[in-house]
Structure 1
Amino acid sequence: MYNNDSSDEKENTQIWTRDALFSDRNTRLDKFWGTELENDGISRGKAKDWIKAGLAEVDGVLCKKPNYKLAGGEKLTLKGEVENNSLIPEDKPLDIIFNDGRVAVINKPAGLTTHPAPSCPTETLVHRLIHHFPEIQNMDEWRPGIVHRLDKFTSGLIAVALNDHDRLALSAAFAEREVDKTYLAIVHGVPDKDFADINMPIGRHPIHKTKMAVVLKGGRDARSSYEVLWTDPAERASLLRVKIYTGRTHQIRVHMAHIGHPLLGDQVYGSQQHTILKNQSKPLSELASRQMLHAYSLSFNHPETDERLSFTLTPPDDFITLLKELNSSVQRVGLIGMPCCGKSTALKLLSEKGIPVFSADKSVSDTYNKDGAGWEMIRQRFGNKFTETETGNIDKKKVFTAICEDGDIRREIMNIVHPIVQHETALFFQTNATTPLAVAEIPLLLEAGWHTQKLVDVVIGIRCPDSKRTQELREKRGLDPETLATFDSWQWDEKAKMDCCTAIIDNDSGVDELKANTEKVLLLLAEMREAKAKKFDAFLKALFKQEDKH
């Protein structure tokens, strides 16, 4: 709470009042005030001087001890003389959504501070307001017309009163929670629940006093609710509709961080997640250059007519651009087919075109090598059964023979190898998240059920006549018909595989045909990406149109 000086004080004296919370217990008085007034440009040293000068009170009793330890729950007052900078109107753009001469609703852009403070004495929303509405200039020395505020880097709707009577009425409406406020937020990850209510008290962070936090003892009641509106295909971020029922400092940012899903771009409450995002995708982290929070809707009763006024505002370009970039994440293609159908050749053709590729077969082969991901686990389970020496690589031929002869060994080997390959496939797609598409050749994609776990977006099949592929299996791998039959028995039959594919590349003859058919599928994939972008544009338009009705 902030109060102007009373009439018997010097003209440039300001009075601040605060309630100490339980979380402030054992905090020095000068440290408390230094933290509280940091955003006003008041240092701890200045607060200490004022306390020593007899300008501080604790529960109405004068306190001159800067090192006084708070118990929590006290009523604190501090006076101080500050430089008296009169507000000078600034002739800069102001996006006025509504104005009837008594109340105005403004679209505050991200990056614009709501009202002046010693740390930000000029170029605030208030400076623009008094240029466009000069009648409010004498209403309040520092915050004329302001009845609520938005963080500097939060965009969206803010209400302004244009006279003292309406300012008091609107301030009371906010205090009595008669104003409906809804925000749109882009958060890290995917919340466990599509709908949830967060009713957790907020207070000063017990260690980092410049931050707020969920404080179970001594915090002020704070309630928010959210609904998941959309999640990006790679599940890196989600778009939420968030409604707040109280107005605590940084409430949405604190509540979302508390449940493990801080806002994208919030380097105060989500610094760890922001660093991870930056390492994974620098372009995305650069697009999230501020906390991605937008005051989307505002509804209140007109202070004079009592008519219910409701406003909505589509998010700004940076918000929309980030959503579109998240939606356009890499098209994850899974390439499947029967053994020796031409998958490796197709993968090579794609790689030659500069498309990122991954081979599950190579991943399995690498995991058998000494110090490979599965090498130690297989040795722990089977000892030196599949190795020539204590430190040698696993003999792939021995493993193949064993899994052909013993179904139990095959299942155990697969239980070791499959999770490794699945992890490496996911990591491959994650590494190439900013490319248009990436292709992973995964022979057992369907059999392992990974297509149902959203590992890939599109499944492409290579179809090859049995006579052609079995001939190559015999010639390249020296497999007899019985072994070939065993090999095929581990997989779905070709028809079942192809029935699950979005598109099929036929490999009936030679490389030229395979190359031509691969080009056709690449065109289809490009069309799918374009259709996806258009569909998302339509989704956003429909979403915001629908949101307007809330």
Structure 2
Amino acid sequence: MNDMRGASAPSFTPDVIYCPPPDLGLDLVFLDEAMLVLNKPAGLLSVPGRGEGREDCMISRAARRYDDAMIVHRLDMATSGMLVLARGQAMQRALSMLFQDRHVSKRYVALVHGLLACDEGEVGLPLITDWPNRPMQMVCHERGKPSLTRYRVLSRDAALNQTRVELEPVTGRSHQLRVHMLALGHPIVGDPLYGDQVVQAAWPRLMLHASRLTLPHPVSRAEQVFESAAPF
């Protein structure tokens, strides 16, 4: 198999102990009878995980207050930012179709190691699950699924040797943003799975935040734009 993991990718999957952040209430961005948009904190699963002790998650917390809340899409546990939840099965179907048909535009803000040379660009490397090291993903030109990420530099910090970037996942593969930035030689700061593990362990979290969502309302079809500032 012709694959490219990146020179600094680990050859094993680190043990991840689930310690969800304390429940301080829902951080609501938007609410109506069709859907709600929440800010998910870093370290919290979107849906219940496998195994004992992984029941606490964003959908379970939301459902305690809104009993018709249903999951539509997910964010990685380590990623913070906006998550759309449907209210009831009909809205779940409608919103799921919007995501499936790519009528939803998503933007993320990330800090990456190193100074990106280009102000903007694209990464179009195909991705596949790295089965011996699940849940990690890797680039595979033979069997990987087509994947495309656009990036735009927001600022560069020469002193810290970091770049703040806006990332647009045109496709929605698992860990897409994380693996594509690693493949560029600029892993996302604080990533517990990708990049030099000694360097990454010095950071309290993955510096990746879902900062902007644009989608048609599932009932009115009016364009909705939601924004959330990155907490880093």
TM-score band by shorter chain is 0.7 to 0.9
Is the contact made by 1:205 and 1:215 (CA closer than 8 Å) also made in structure 2?
no
Deviation (angstroms), 1:277: 7.0
Q: Unaligned 5+ residue runs, structure 1?
A: 1-21, 24-38, 40-90, 137-144, 279-284, 320-550
> 1:182-227 CA deviation, whole Å, 9 max, x = no partner?
0000000012211111111110126534310111111111110101
Does 1:108 find its partner at 2:40? yes
Choose from 220, 223, 226 the match for 2:151: 226
Match of 1:34 in 2: none
List aligned pairs for 1:157-236, cutoff 5 A.
157-205=82-130, 208-234=133-159, 236=161
Q: Unaligned 5+ residue runs, structure 2?
A: 3-15, 17-22
Does 1:269 find its partner at 2:201? no
Deviation (angstroms), 1:177: 1.1
Q: Which runs of 4+ in 1 moved over 4 A?
A: none
Q: Superposition RMSD on alpha carbons, in Å?
A: 2.3
Choose from 241, 253, 256 the match for 2:181: 256
> 1:54-83 CA deviation, whole Å, 9 max, x = no partner?
xxxxxxxxxxxxxxxxxxxxxxxxxxxxxx
Inter-partner Cα distance in structure 1 for 2:135 and 2:86:
30
Does 1:94 find its partner at 2:26? yes
Inter-partner Cα distance in structure 1 for 2:158 and 2:127:
33
Deviation (angstroms), 1:99: 0.5
Deviation (angstroms), 1:276: 4.5
Inter-partner Cα distance in structure 2 for 1:235 and 1:110:
22
Choose from 50, 63, 66 the match for 1:133: 66
Q: TM-score, normalised by structure 1?
A: 0.37
Overall identity of the aligned pairs, in %: 34
Largest Rg, 1 or 2:
1
Inter-partner Cα distance in structure 2 for 1:207 and 1:103:
38
> 1:360-395 CA deviation, whole Å, 9 max, x = no partner?
xxxxxxxxxxxxxxxxxxxxxxxxxxxxxxxxxxxx
> 1:468-520 CA deviation, whole Å, 9 max, x = no partner?
xxxxxxxxxxxxxxxxxxxxxxxxxxxxxxxxxxxxxxxxxxxxxxxxxxxxx
* Amino acid of the structure 1 residue aligned with 2:217: H
Q: Which has the higher contact order (CA 8 A, sep 6+)?
A: 2
Match of 1:314 in 2: 229
3-state SS of paired residue (1:134): coil
Inter-partner Cα distance in structure 1 for 2:97 and 2:105:
14
Name the structure where helix makes up a greater proportion of residues: 1
Does 1:152 find its partner at 2:49? no
* Amino acid of the structure 1 residue aligned with 2:121: A
Inter-partner Cα distance in structure 1 for 2:57 and 2:39:
13
Is the contact made by 2:188 and 2:208 (CA closer than 8 Å) also made in structure 1?
yes
Match of 2:218 in 1: 303
Match of 1:123 in 2: 56
Count how many residue pairs are aligned between Structure 1 and Structure 2: 214
Q: TM-score, normalised by structure 2?
A: 0.85
Is the contact made by 1:201 and 1:222 (CA closer than 8 Å) also made in structure 2?
yes
